[in-house]
Amino acid sequence: MQSFSSIGPFLDMAAILASIIIVSSILMPFEVLVAFLISYSSIYSIYYISSQRSNNGGYYSFVGKSLGKSFGILTAILYVFYNSMVLPNISLFIANFISSATLNIGFSFPLQSDIYAIFFSFLTIITVSKGLKFSSFFTLALGILEICIMGFYVIFFTISGNGVVNIIQNPNLQSFFIGIMFGIVIFAGSGSSIFISENTNKATKTVPKAIIMSYTLSGIILVFAAFSMENFLGISGSILYATSGGTYILVRLMNYSIWLFIIFLS
């Protein structure tokens, strides 16, 4: 589920933030903030294209119109390969993340995590095959739910933390920029909203504004999420969060309430 701007903020909150700590070990919230500002500077090209043309074909359609049919077909083929890798990998991550998290509370699923990954992939394919209207509504509904739940956890982490954003190691410029590079990955899907433009009222006006608004909202929430998580976990907790692949945060939530654990995991 990719939310408003197709950057999947809750997925980033559960996984990518941990990766940033692993590769840089310092100043994770500030690296996310800088990555957001850098990525935000590149959103204008997506805004401009969306304001000039309305087409549900995605990037390959725009490439085909701009550079010719051959380049458009090549881009479409690349996206086929890209999608064939992304969906299974995300499905495997979700299945393994849930499996690892539930093992921490003594519960194990009766089947291998691969089976659940396949089920999730088929569920996604079925949803998309229902058509643009259904899949768009489904994405929007889950996206709104995702943002609301993230907002709740940002507030909870802020209130329940120690009030300090920690530096895990002595900072150095190289580690800081490596963290920023991984942080930019969080916002890499910002242009995917360009796909949902066909059959939209006043598409060349509505879609660009929607991209800017959704990207801004998702980015701000992710930045606040990074700061609040650092505040909640502390130094040792941040290290455990990173080395556990993000599941340690569920252990901490379990100490407060089983419902906090279940809602975050769902």
What is residue 3's predicted lDDT score, i.e. its pLDDT? 45
Three state DSSP letters for the chain: CCCCCCCCHHHHHHHHHHHHHHHHCCCHHHHHHHHHHHHHCCHHHHHHHHHHCCCCCCHHHHHHHHHCHHHHHHHHHHHHHHHHHHHHHHHHHHHHHHHHHHHCCCCCCCCCHHHHHHHHHHHHHHHHHCCHHHHHHHHHHHHHHHHHHHHHHHHHHHHHCCCCCCCCCCCCHHHHHHHHHHHHHHCCCHHHHHHCCCCCCCHHHHHHHHHHHHHHHHHHHHHHHHHHHHHHHHHHHHHHHHHCCCCHHHHHHHHHCHHHHHHHHC
Q: Do 17 and 32 contact (CB within 8 A), yes or no?
A: yes
Express each pLDDT in 195-207 by its tens digit. Answer: 545 556 676 777 7
Binning pLDDT at 50, 70 and 90, where does residue 229 land? confident
Give the distance from CA 150 to its chain's centroid.
12
Express each pLDDT in 1-26 by its tens digit. Answer: 344 445 566 777 767 788 888 877 66
Binning pLDDT at 50, 70 and 90, where does residue 122 land? confident
Binning pLDDT at 50, 70 and 90, where does residue 63 land? confident
Express each pLDDT in 130-159 by its tens digit. Answer: 777 777 777 778 778 878 888 888 888 888
What number is the average pLDDT over the span 205-227? 81
What is residue 5's predicted lDDT score, i.e. its pLDDT? 45
What is residue 58's predicted lDDT score, i.e. its pLDDT? 63
What is residue 219's predicted lDDT score, i.e. its pLDDT? 83
In this model, does residue 222 exceed pLDDT 70? yes
In this model, does residue 110 exceed pLDDT 70? no
What number is the average pLDDT over the span 102-118? 69
What is residue 142's predicted lDDT score, i.e. its pLDDT? 78
